[in-house]
Structures are given as structure tokens and as C-alpha cells.
């Protein structure tokens, strides 16, 4: 995972994943949450940003099946699903289908298993729980399981 670049201001987010937390930035001036790590508030421009812990629950805004990956780290997982989730704290976050789940029951020589993997029941609007997932020696991911939460 060392090929994935990250900005210095994202360190609290990455450190949060390592201890089981999904963190997001919040502006002290206007109290608006924002996606991932930025040096300033995208709403008011303030540099007074803090990190808060998300409950990890939100609604799916978009679902994409990935069948080709440019990064060698992710090529081993193809095909897999990523989602864009609008979290309850009013920020959006992308998450990857849990790599261990995406490998379950899959045989590259069995077209039915490929079809099963690419036809997960997750749909736009579904409620999902995201969680940090250790993957590799250094990197954490935000992951999800394909079954939506009961509302």
C-alpha cells in the first residue's frame, strides 16, 4: 500500500483508521463538517479545524463496480465495489467492499461467482455501516460489507 500517496493534513484520519475510528474534519468557526482532510474550511476559509469521530453510519449515494484498477495494490482485488456514502454527520466518504468479503466464494474460472459478486444488493439510499479495515502492513481502508443495515 505504500504506493498510495497521502497529504500530511490527512495524518489524523489515517491514524484514526489504525485505532478503529473514522474521523472527519469540522470547522470551529462555522461548525460545518467536510470530507477528509483539507487545510482550510471549504465553507468559510477558516484554518480552525478539528477532527471528530464518526459513528460510521450513512446512506449510499453511489455504487460503482471496479473491474480495472490502475494501482497495482488494487489490481489484486478486481472486481470489487466502491460506494460513496453520505454520513449522518453530513460529510461524504468513499468506502471499498471489504477485501476479505470480495474474495469469498470467488473463482475466476466460474462466471456465476463473478456474476454473484457484481450483483450485490447494495443500492443508492441503503443504510450502511462503514468501518476501518487494516489491509497490509501500513495502510488502513474504510470498508463496508455488502448487506445493507436494517432500518
Binding positions for Zn ion, rule: CB under 5 A: 27, 29-30, 41, 43-44, 46
Question: Would you state the cell numbers that stand for residue 21, as one nine-digit string?
Answer: 475510528
Task: Kindly tell me which of 35 and 147 has the beta carbon lying closer to Zn ion.
Answer: 35
> Which of the 8 DSSP states describes residue 9?
G
Cell 474460472 locates to 109
**What's the closest the beta carbon of residue 28 comes to Zn ion, in angstroms?**
8
Min dist CB 109 to Zn ion, Å, is 53
Distances (CA, A) of 137 to 2, 26, 129, 141: 9, 29, 24, 12
Q: Considering beta carbons, is residue 25 or 59 the nearer one to Zn ion? A: 25
Output 41 or 141, the one with its CB closest to Zn ion: 41
Give the other-Cβ count within 10 Å of 16's Cβ.
Answer: 19
In the complex, minimum distance from the CB of residue 44 to Zn ion, in angstroms, rounded to a whole number: 3
* Minimum separation from the CB atom of position 32 to Zn ion (A): 5
Q: What whole-number distance in Å separates Cα of residue 57 and Cα of residue 6?
A: 24
State the CB neighbour count (10 A cutoff) for residue 25: 23
- Closest CB to Zn ion among residues 60, 87: 87
Amino acid at each position: 500500500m505504500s504506493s498510495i500517496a497521502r497529504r500530511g493534513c490527512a495524518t489524523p484520519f489515517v491514524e484514526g483508521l489504525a485505532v478503529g475510528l473514522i474521523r472527519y474534519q469540522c470547522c470551529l468557526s462555522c461548525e460545518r463538517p467536510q470530507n477528509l482532510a483539507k487545510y482550510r474550511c471549504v465553507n468559510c476559509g477558516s484554518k480552525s479545524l478539528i477532527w471528530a469521530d464518526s459513528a460510521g453510519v450513512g446512506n449510499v449515494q453511489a455504487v460503482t463496480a471496479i473491474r480495472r484498477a490502475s494501482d497495482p495494490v488494487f489490481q489484486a482485488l478486481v472486481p470489487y465495489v466502491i460506494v460513496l456514502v453520505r454520513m449522518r454527520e453530513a460529510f461524504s466518504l468513499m468506502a471499498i467492499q471489504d477485501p476479505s468479503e470480495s474474495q469469498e466464494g470467488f473463482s475466476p474460472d466460474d462466471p456465476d461467482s463473478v456474476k454473484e459478486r457484481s450483483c450485490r444488493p447494495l443500492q443508492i439510499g441503503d443504510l450502511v455501516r462503514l468501518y476501518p479495515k487494516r489491509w497490509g502492513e501500513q495502510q488502513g481502508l474504510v470498508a463496508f460489507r455488502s448487506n445493507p443495515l436494517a432500518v
